[in-house]
């Protein structure tokens, strides 16, 4: 039995006055954590491996939606967007890698090249 794939962003609750600026579907990993082996394989192969998550950049926060969101447990990660910075994206095959500096340390965002315009908007929004 296959896991159902979400093609639409779930209706996640945002704070009053908060709005969504950029929505991405990708992976956010710690380069020194357990995902580093997968990241190396993705760079070598040039394709994304594993499951993707919804990543929202709102007017106040950077949010990573939980893989199976439910009431009261919507987000795996929530950072104040003023504390997150992004480098220019680097393309490897059909994967774009963006280095992020976050309060939890360096992170790597990996997304498909098909959504390159959204990645550009994401980087520009974090630089403002």
Domains of the chain: 20-127 (2.30.29.30)
The answer to whether the CB of 98 falls within 8 A of the CB of 107 is no
pLDDT for 123 equals 94
What is the rounded distance in angstroms from the CA atom of residue 48 to the CA atom of residue 44?
Answer: 10
| Mean pLDDT along residues 91-96 | 86
pLDDT tens figures, 103-115: 988 998 989 899 9
Question: Structure pTM?
Answer: 0.81
pLDDT for 5 equals 53
Compare 52 and 121 and report the one with higher pLDDT: 121
| Mean pLDDT along residues 63-69 | 79
The answer to whether the CB of 110 falls within 8 A of the CB of 101 is no
């Amino acid at each position: 039995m296959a896991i159902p794939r979400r093609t639409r962003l779930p209706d996640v609750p945002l704070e009053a006055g908060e709005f969504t600026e950029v929505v991405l579907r990708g992976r956010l990993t710690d380069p020194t954590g357990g995902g580093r082996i997968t990241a190396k394989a993705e760079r070598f192969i040039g394709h994304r491996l594993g499951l993707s998550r919804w990543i929202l950049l709102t007017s106040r926060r950077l949010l990573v939606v939980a893989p199976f969101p439910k009431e009261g447990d919507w987000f795996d990660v929530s950072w104040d967007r003023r504390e997150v910075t992004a480098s220019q994206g680097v393309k490897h095959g059909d994967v774009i890698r963006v280095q992020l500096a976050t309060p939890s340390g360096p992170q790597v965002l990996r997304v498909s090249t098909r959504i390159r315009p959204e990645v550009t908007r994401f980087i520009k929004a974090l630089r403002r």
